Chains A and B, each alone.
Chain A
Amino acid sequence: MKPDPGLDVLEGILRDAGADERARIGAELRRRGFLLVWDQVDRAPAMTPVEEAMFVLGRLYPEMPEAHRVSLRRQLHADHDAGTWHGFTRPEH
């Protein structure tokens, strides 16, 4: 397959940026990913804190194993019922 010259340029820029800067870019991509999911929460019907948390986890981590999903739902319910957890905090824009 013919090499893409644009890709070479982009990779050169990222190579020159260094590991720390690339990690910062990765963190920013992650932050934006979280914001996108919370935008979806805003467009979804009203949910309880536990439902909202499971919605967020499902969107953030679609490949999370079902056993982990079930375990987390149980823990969230228990803490919510005990009044020790009130929902995930949304990231700041």
Chain B
Amino acid sequence: MRDVIEALDRHAPAWYLTGSEALAAYGTPRQTLDTDVLVDTTEPGLRELGAALGRDYYFAEPLRFGSRVMASLVERSGAGKVDLIVRDGDPWSREAMARRRPWDHPAWGPAWVSSLEDLVLAKLEWSEGTSELQLRDCRMLLRMNAEAVDRTYLAHWAPGLGVGQLLRDVLEPGR
């Protein structure tokens, strides 16, 4: 993963770890086998990254899922996978990129990780109100970081993302 991080630093203006790796940064780790990276780039930028890593990774071309574009890197040797997700152009996505946190990752060295609040908002979005796994993660993140979480920030962005009610649900004290 270090080589991917170095390529991201060279070829993308900004990026951060999200998904399960970010989950471990703030809460209970999960046995998710791939690594998710949010990248401030374009589809051609993803291909440039793929080309830069072509010696050691297979590159699965960008695909569009609604407003989201995602490509994947798969290690030629050990089958590890990194999903590269293009940052959306909406105001919250820009803000989330600006609020990313530096993290000296124990295995990968200097990296960037989603802020706690933006991870919660992303998981609420991903859940589409139906993924109990994502909603459970949100409740866990909010419990484990009850004193640190910026509830004002969450309340500011959640309605615009269409997750205002979901946020209220996961902020309730019960499980």
Contact = CB atoms under 8 A, between A and B. Distances in A.
Interface of A: 1-4, 7, 10-11, 14-15, 19-27, 29-30, 32-34, 53, 56-57, 60-61, 64-65, 67-68, 71-72, 75-76, 79, 85, 88-89, 91
By secondary structure, the A interface counts as helix
A23 B31 contact: no
Contacts of A68: 60-61, 63, 72
Contacts of B27: 11, 14, 22
B85 to A, nearest CB: 13
Nearest to B35: A30
Contacts of A25: 24, 29
A19 B33 contact: no
A91 B76 contact: no
Contacts of A3: 174-175
B26 A19 contact: yes
A53 B79 contact: yes
Interface residues of B, number: 35
B157 interface: no
B143 interface: yes
Contacts of B107: 23-24, 27
Given A1-B174, A20-B105, 20 more contacts: A3-B175, A7-B175, A10-B28, A11-B143, A11-B144, A14-B29, A19-B25, A22-B28, A25-B24, A26-B20, A30-B32, A30-B33, A32-B31, A60-B34, A61-B34, A68-B61, A72-B60, A75-B58, A88-B78, A91-B78
B11 interface: no
A30 B26 CA distance: 17
A23 B106 CA distance: 7
B87 to A, nearest CB: 19
B58 A24 contact: no
Nearest to B101: A19
